[in-house]
Amino acid sequence: MYTQCRGCGEVFVIEVEHLTHARGQVRCNLCGTVFDGMETLSATKPHEDEDLLLHEFDNAPPLLTQAYHTLQVADAVEEGLEGDLTVVDEGDLEAELDEIIADAQMNDSQLDEEALPSFVAEDDNLSGPFVAEKKVQPENKSSSWLFSALAVAMLIGLFWQAQAAISKGQLVLPEHPMSEKLCEFINCAQNKVAVDLNAISLVSRNIRPHPGRDEALIISASMINANEANQQFPALEIKLSDLNGQIVAMRRFIADEYVPADVLRAGFLPNTLIPINLEIVSPGQDAVAFEIRFVQP
């Protein structure tokens, strides 16, 4: 078959199957024009300088009058009445047609009811709705163990943070017997009781250059608790001043810095002499006097 490009006029050879698959649309390899190859389709090759004739497709579409199902019913009636040459009344023919149609519909419904999927056994109970089974994937034990370990680690971290907050006094437990039992296992911050500074006396004091370090001083002192009850150790405030009484250096020491750990645990016992030895950096030659004072911890 032959067809002609509407852009450049070139005639091409084409297979009808290729044209059918492309629904009549083709593209010219010379000018690139896309056109309907059916318009100039011809079985004969044109002469030189001769164009293929355009086919007209403007005719009115034909009217369809015969349905496929109507033809089936007619064929069935014809087969049923074959060989019977007797004249049949028109009313009987219509009744017979209705009976044939009803039988055909009944057979279709029975086939639909009897047809079962290949994967359904005959003894299966089909009274209930059909539900497809969902295959349960086995749980990944390694991931479950990982999440469990992370959960335990988070609980341990929260417990450690809570214990640290309770020991520092940032978190105060309510007054309850359970709180007292809990403090037996963890270190709870005790309510600070004011130290009776009037009951503490400074027995001796001394300041001298450090024998083994340059520009360092050693302060030696001793104190005693005149109170009958055991109490906490106070903080020491040391001031160094010049000849005019101006403070040139000052520092405060808490009990952990000047009391041994075993003595600190026992507390400031009454009528017990506690020695004090402190090493400080010398502020220079201007420091000619010093003062030791007890303050609340």
Parse the chain into domains and list their residue ranges: 1-56, 145-185, 197-295
Work out the mean pLDDT of the chain and round it to a whole number: 77
CATH superfamily, region 197-295: GMP phosphodiesterase, delta subunit (2.70.50.40)
Query: What is residue 59's predicted lDDT score, i.e. its pLDDT?
Result: 54
Query: What is residue 12's predicted lDDT score, i.e. its pLDDT?
Result: 84
pLDDT in tens, 139-198: 667 778 888 899 999 999 988 888 888 877 777 777 777 877 777 777 776 656 788 888
Query: What is residue 85's predicted lDDT score, i.e. its pLDDT?
Result: 44
Predicted TM-score (pTM) above 0.85: no
Query: What is residue 118's predicted lDDT score, i.e. its pLDDT?
Result: 56
Query: What is residue 66's predicted lDDT score, i.e. its pLDDT?
Result: 59
Query: What is residue 246's predicted lDDT score, i.e. its pLDDT?
Result: 92
pLDDT in tens, 21-31: 788 888 898 88
Contact status, residue 4 vs residue 52, Cβ threshold 8 Å: yes
Distance of CA 55 to the CA centre of its chain: 67
Ranges of the chain whose pLDDT falls below 70: 48-50, 52-94, 107-140, 189-192
Backbone angles phi and psi of 185, in degrees to 5: -100, -30
Give the residue from 35, 15, 16 showing the smallest Cα distance to 27. Answer: 35
